[in-house]
Amino acid sequence: ECRTCPHPDPHAPAPPKGRRGMPMEPTGQGMGHRCPACGIVEARTSQVGVIRAMLAGDYDRAFILGGSRTGKTEAGAQLAVAVASGSDDPDVRAWADLNGLDLSRIQRHPGVFWAVSQTFNMSRTVQRAKLDVYLPTGSVRRSWQSDNEAEVKLPSGGRITCKAFAQNTSEGNARNPFEGARIHGAWIDEEP
């Protein structure tokens, strides 16, 4: 979104943090995006295309690959909150409308989602920090600042559980924490 021009609808739902500006459009040249109001062109990264393809396609899994600061973690956090909230949630519908996304692959009701990182420390400093940007007001976090498994319950009833691959390989862990669960989706960040 443009950092100069305000959003045309002052009553549009805004993310919990940050400023919403006029939606920018890709120029078709590299990372360039143009504001339709003021004409400014800026380099921006976007994972909208890959999210659009993932939601419109018939995939069981997808990989988002890219360099540092290209939006992979942003995409994971947005998808986690959307799936945990469910496609009937008004904020999820607004997100889909803004980005031209098909929500038919996301269940209508609140869901269960896993955010998996390499370690609990990475979960806390990378994934949970990014989830905080998109979690709705009123979300209840459990063990959010600890280097342990954490969970957030959304006001809608959906849940996101933050897991770490390292917990699966610890000597003291007798059972596999990734077995026997019914979830609506998982976001595995980095290499595990």
pLDDT tens, per residue, the chain with 192 residues: 788 887 766 666 554 344 567 878 888 777 788 999 899 998 877 788 888 888 888 877 888 777 777 788 989 999 999 999 999 999 999 999 888 899 999 999 999 999 999 999 999 999 999 999 999 999 999 999 999 999 999 999 999 999 998 765 555 554 566 677 889 999 998 776
- What's this model's pTM, rounded to 2 decimal places? 0.77
SS (H, E, C) the chain: CCCCCECCCCCCCCCCCCCCECCCEECCCCCEEECCCCCCEEECCCCHHHHHHHHHCCCCCCCCCCCCCCCHHHHHHHHHHHHHHCCCCHHHHHHHHHHCCCCCCCCCCCCEEEEEECCHHHHHHHHHHHHHHHCCCCCEEECCCCCCCEEEECCCCCEEEEEEHHHHHCCCCCCCCCCCCCCCEEEECCCC
